[in-house]
Structure formats: C-alpha cells, structure tokens
C-alpha cells in the first residue's frame, strides 16, 4: 500500500479546508493509499512560495515519509508557474507522484507531466489577467476623479511637528493628535526633509 500525503490550502481564513480534506481522503481510499499525514495552509495565497504547511510537506518528502501527494487542484499547490513546476520537479526527483482530484491527472506519466505544465501556465495567465483587471479599474477610477488609497489625515501637521520637536514624547504626540506613532515619525521626517530642501 502506497503511503500518501494530503495537501490542502484556502486563500482566506473564512474558507473551509474540510471539503478538500474529505474529498482527498475518499480519493486515497479509492486508490488504495494509506494517508500518513495531512498538510494545510489557511489564509495564504498560492502565489507565496513560502507556506508553513507546504514547507513541512516538502521537508517530510525529502525524508521519504510518503510516495504520493494528493491535492484538490493544481492551483492549491501554487499559482505561480515557476513555483508550481519547481515543487513538481522536486517531488519527481524524490520519486513522489502528484495527483490532482480536479484535473484527474498524476505526474507518473509523460502525458501527466505535459498536462501539469499546461495547467500551471493557464493558472498563471488567469492570475495575470486578474491583476490587469484590477489595474485597469484603478486607472478608470483615477480618470473619473475618484481617490485611491487612504484619505489624507485631517490634523494640524505643523502643530504636531512643533510639539514633537519641542520635546513631547512620541507616545504623547500620537495620543494628542489621535494618530499612530509611525504617522508621527513620518510627518516629522517629511517636515525635516522639506526644511533641508528649502535650505539648499
């Protein structure tokens, strides 16, 4: 009986891993695999190369803890083609097969490996299109005069800078003007830079 690992990931904390784990457990039973461990990442984008669950799985893979990895879909493993193919290549070098429930493909054969490359490219294209749509929306919003990002802080900046430079503590200044300590530091730095430019 082959020893199998399950890897599941959701992008946001409010999504549920249980459905993926249940479906993959059923797939393992159908294939006659023994599940030795489940690895999960919750609230982490597939575009991030470093993930605690994935890192733990790869560390166990290098120790030969299992010979098969089951995922709900290829994009659960990674969104980036580079990251995805790097992971698949390392698994292949370790003699570990990757099986995806949604794509119904495993990497043990030439056709499976070819399909992996195609699907990974499509996933990256999809992500690029999403990013481009967001950028396009932001450009349209700017043309329509909409403000993007945080609204300006409605405080007396000069007074804040004077109080801070006169000896008021960072914490006291932040409390008085109801802003964060980081904002106080930034405003004082910006004021100092303006004075330096004016003096030059």
Spatial distance between the Cα atoms of 171 and 42, rounded to a whole number of angstroms: 35
11 is catalytic: yes
| Burial (CB count within 10 angstroms: exposed 0-12, middle 13-18, buried 19+), residue 83 | buried
Q: Active site residue: 11, 25, 45, 67, which one?
A: 11
Residues of the chain above pLDDT 90, percent? 34
Structure pTM?
A: 0.57
pLDDT at 148: 63
pLDDT at 191: 86
Residue ranges and CATH numbers for the domains of the chain are: 3-126 (3.40.50.1390), 157-199 (no CATH)
Residue 153's nearest CA partner among 179, 191, 192 is 179
pLDDT classification of 179: cutoffs 50, 70, 90? confident
Q: Say which range, 25-29, 45-49, 82-86, has the weakest mean pLDDT.
A: 45-49
pLDDT at 46: 64
Q: Say which range, 91-95, 106-110, 138-142, has the weakest mean pLDDT.
A: 106-110
pLDDT classification of 151: cutoffs 50, 70, 90? low
Cα separation of the two ends of the chain: 77
Neighbours of 37 (CB within 10 A): 14
| Burial (CB count within 10 angstroms: exposed 0-12, middle 13-18, buried 19+), residue 196 | exposed
pLDDT at 58: 94
8-12, 62-66, 147-151: which is most confident = 62-66
Spatial distance between the Cα atoms of 172 and 163, rounded to a whole number of angstroms: 9
| Burial (CB count within 10 angstroms: exposed 0-12, middle 13-18, buried 19+), residue 63 | exposed
pLDDT of 45 strictly over 90:
no
């Amino acid at each position: 009986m082959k020893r199998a690992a399950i890897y599941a990931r959701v992008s946001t904390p409010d999504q549920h891993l249980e459905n993926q784990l249940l479906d993959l457990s059923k797939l393992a039973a159908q294939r006659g695999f023994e599940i030795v461990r489940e690895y999960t990442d919750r609230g982490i984008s597939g575009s991030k190369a470093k993930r605690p669950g994935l890192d733990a799985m790869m560390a166990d893979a290098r120790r030969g803890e299992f010979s098969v990895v089951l995922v709900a879909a290829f994009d659960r493993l990674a969104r980036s083609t580079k990251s995805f193919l790097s992971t698949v290549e390392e698994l292949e070098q370790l003699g570990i097969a990757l099986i995806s429930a949604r794509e119904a493909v495993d990497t043990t054969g030439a056709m499976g490996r070819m399909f992996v490359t195609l699907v990974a490219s499509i996933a990256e294209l999809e992500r690029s299109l999403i990013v481009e749509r967001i950028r396009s929306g932001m450009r349209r919003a700017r043309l329509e005069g909409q403000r993007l990002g945080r609204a300006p802080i409605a405080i007396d900046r000069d007074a804040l800078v004077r109080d801070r430079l006169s000896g008021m503590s960072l914490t006291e200044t932040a409390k008085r003007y109801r802003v964060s300590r980081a904002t106080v530091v930034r405003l004082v730095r910006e004021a100092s830079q303006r004075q330096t430019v004016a003096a030059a």
